[in-house]
Amino acid sequence: MSRPQEVNDFITDHSPNPVCNKCIANGLGWSNDAAHPAQITGALATTSDFVQETGTCSICKDSKKVIRRA
Ligand SMILES: [Zn+2]
């Protein structure tokens, strides 16, 4: 499965709750990987399927940039 697809699925699994890039990386086991999910979520946010905004991550509860299913 491609990385964008993994990110897409992770966000969809948590829908309608928003998640942050850090929790996406942790959730997908990318913590030791240089491939940061920010570029992927940035690309997903340009589609009508996703909304990226400042909010509270449903996993780590931090207030930061999060993404969720539109
Ligand atoms: Zn988080």
pLDDT in tens, 3-53: 899 999 999 999 999 999 999 999 999 866 556 789 999 999 999 999 999
How far, in Å, from the CA of 1 to the mean position of ligand 1?
23
DSSP 64: E
How far, in Å, from the CA of 5 to the mean position of ligand 1?
19
Q: Which two tokens stand for residue 44?
A: 């997903």
Which pLDDT does position 36 carry in this prediction? 78
How far, in Å, from the CA of 58 to the mean position of ligand 1?
7
Instruction: Enumerate the β-bridge partners of residue 53.
Output: 66
User: Any idea which residue has 């909304």 for tokens?
Assistant: 51
How far, in Å, from the CA of 49 to the mean position of ligand 1?
20
How far apart CA 65 and CA 56 sit, in angstroms, is 8
How far apart CA 35 and CA 53 sit, in angstroms, is 21
